[in-house]
Amino acid sequence: MALEIKVEGTKRLRKRLNALDDHTRGAVLARIVMAAAEPVRAVAAQKAPIRTGQLAETMTTELLEQKSHRASAGVGPNNEAWYGIFAEYGTVNHSAQPFLRPAFDEQKRNASHRMATDLRTELDKARKA
């Protein structure tokens, strides 16, 4: 399950980002995306249905993609709690108990703001280095 937030900056911000070499730019984007995903992970863990507690305990963030102009992160239970998909969407025998989508919906504005703020900070650091 993947959710995407697309952040588009001003021409100036893009120009500053493009001034970085590919490796540095990819690393910056990965750090920003992972930091923004953390609050979503924390809220998803809080909202996860509790039967044994394992679903909440296994909630992770994972870097899914890192390229020079793109990075994406996933939030969800690790492979130990593979059954989390059934809680999120339900089955023919059990109604859905969504926890990932509500966590994302609750945190998406915060995540977007954090990515923009962190990007500016990272670009300022790179410019001074």
Structure letter (DSSP) for residue 81: G
Parse the chain into domains and list their residue ranges.
15-121
Per residue of the chain (129 residues), give pLDDT as tens: 444 555 555 677 778 788 888 888 888 889 999 999 999 999 999 999 988 788 999 999 999 998 888 889 999 999 989 999 999 999 999 999 999 999 999 999 998 888 888 888 888 887 776
The answer to whether residues 23 and 125 touch, using CB atoms and an 8 Å cutoff, is: no
Q: What is the 3-state secondary structure (H, E, C) of the chain?
A: CCCCCCCCCCHHHHHHHHCCCHHHHHHHHHHHHHHHHHHHHHHHHHHCCCCCCHHHHCEEEEEEEEECCEEEEEEEECHHHCCHHHHHHCCCCCCCCCCHHHHHHHHHHHHHHHHHHHHHHHHHHHHHC
Q: Report the predicted TM-score, pTM, of the whole model to 2 decimal places.
A: 0.83
With a CB cutoff of 8 Å and minimum separation 6, the contacts of 44 are 59, 75, 76, 99, 100, 103, 104
At 1 the pLDDT is 46
At 3 the pLDDT is 46
At 8 the pLDDT is 59
Residue pointed to by tokens 């993947």: 2
